[in-house]
């Protein structure tokens, strides 16, 4: 499986699970897909804050709770998964604060999907 085919699988599954606005893939720029993957690290931006009925609580905890659908969608793909899901408002709030979660996603991540 090529690098692009693997990324396409991730995008297809995450879009089906969340209908996101943006997906960032963090980590290695290019994988040698003949080797074992170590990790798939995603930041997913959604419009609604009602994912998994989570509308209150600390941003980080809510994001972790929302990630369950992503873990389910990617469970049979190789590599350990790290997924955080933010609403657009939450992600913008992180941007305004200069939070490293935002900075790392937007400067070191690759935007692999935009609605």
Domain positions in the chain: 3-114
pLDDT confidence of residue 33: 46
pLDDT confidence of residue 94: 92
pLDDT confidence of residue 92: 94
Higher pLDDT, 64 or 5: 5
9 CB burial (10 A radius; 0-12, 13-18, 19+): middle
Write out pLDDT tens, residues 30-46. 444 445 556 789 999 99
Overall average pLDDT of the 77-98 stretch = 91
Chain-wide mean pLDDT for the chain? 82
Question: pLDDT-derived band of residue 91, with 50, 70 and 90 as boundaries?
Answer: very high
What CATH number labels 3-114? 3.30.300.90
Question: What is the per-residue burial (b if ≥16 Cβ within 10 Å, else e) of 27-44?
Answer: beeebeeeeebeebbbbb
């Amino acid at each position: 499986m090529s690098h692009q085919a693997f990324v396409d699988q991730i995008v297809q599954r995450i879009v089906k699970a969340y209908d996101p606005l943006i997906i960032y893939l963090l980590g290695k720029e290019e994988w040698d897909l003949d080797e074992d993957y170590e990790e798939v690290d995603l930041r997913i931006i959604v419009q609604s804050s009602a994912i998994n009925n989570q509308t209150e609580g600390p941003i980080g905890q809510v994001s972790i709770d929302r990630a369950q659908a992503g873990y389910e969608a990617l469970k049979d793909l190789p590599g350990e998964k790290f997924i955080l899901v933010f609403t657009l408002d939450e992600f913008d709030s992180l941007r305004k604060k200069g939070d490293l979660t935002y900075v790392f996603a937007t400067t070191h991540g690759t935007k692999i999907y935009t609605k």
